[in-house]
Amino acid sequence: MARGMVAVNVSALCDTPPGQQGRPSRSLTLQQVAALLAASDGHWMHAYVAVCVGTGIRTEEIRALQWSSVDLDGNPDADPPVPPSVQVWRSVRARGDVKTEKSRRTLALPQLAVDALRAHSQREQRIDGLVFATRTGRELDAANVRREFRKACTAAGVGPGWTPRELRHTGISLLSLGGLPVEEIARIAGHSSTRTTEVVYRRELRPVITGGAQTVDRLLGPAAPPPPGSRPQSGVA
């Protein structure tokens, strides 16, 4: 139609069938994450879970991760100190590009992920190439990861139906649980806006949202300091 070669796009005359409603993503609790890490100890899935939860990295990003993009030592003597980190610059998408421009990021690694990756490198005896790969050194496909992840979930007793992509949701939700501002969480996740972080990825893991009540108590509760400029009451009617 743009080139004037046809007058009508026949697909526009068709009624498209409605798509199936997707299953909403979930987030593991802190206790479930601990059980999953314990159950997968000694297996490559342990490091996979630790990195995903510890950084909120996407599944297509971690499957393309190479050891050359991982720094397990950092440089504590630098000014400012450089922590252990991972460069999230590639994915298994077409041409190896990450999802968006803001998805290209370098993230500090928590000690949990550092320890897991170091043990993984020693166990696999790999110092180059892909961090997570098949026995022949080739890239893991999504089916490989799903199968091993489900085995780990079964061993951990966290229940059925979990998928590897929900480790990213879990990592982002745990950052929120720890009180990290949503703007910083969005930067870590590689989101272009905080709305994506809040609406799509973050799950409230607290049974009761306490931030509002705690803030009001801090300002107006019995232990709150008197407002600036107020006079102490004399106690005389």
Over its length of 237 residues, how does the chain's per-residue pLDDT go in tens digits? 778 888 888 877 787 776 566 556 788 988 999 999 999 999 999 999 999 999 888 888 999 999 999 999 999 998 888 999 988 877 766 555 555 566 678 888 999 999 999 999 998 777 678 999 988 888 899 999 999 999 999 999 999 999 999 998 898 888 888 878 888 888 887 877 777 777 655 555 444 445 566 666 676 567 767 766 656 555 544
Kindly state the tokens that stand for 167.
Answer: 């480790």
When computed from its CA atoms, the radius of gyration of the chain, rounded to whole angstroms, is: 24
Residue found by looking up tokens 């009761």 in the block: 208
Report which DSSP code applies to 201: I
Nearest to 220 by CA among 212, 232, 231, 210: 212
**Half-sphere exposure at residue 137, Cβ-oriented, CA atoms within 13 angstroms:** 7
Catalytic residues: 58, 99, 168, 191, 201
Kindly state the tokens that stand for 14.
Answer: 């068709």
Q: Which residues pair with 86 in a beta bridge?
A: 70, 107
Residue found by looking up tokens 């745990």 in the block: 174
Helix (H, G, I), strand (E, B) or coil at 86: strand
CA distances in angstroms from 75 to 14, 71, 106, 121, 150, listed in the order given: 60, 9, 15, 20, 37
Residues 30-201, CATH architecture: Orthogonal Bundle (1.10)
Tell me the one-letter amino acid at 126: R
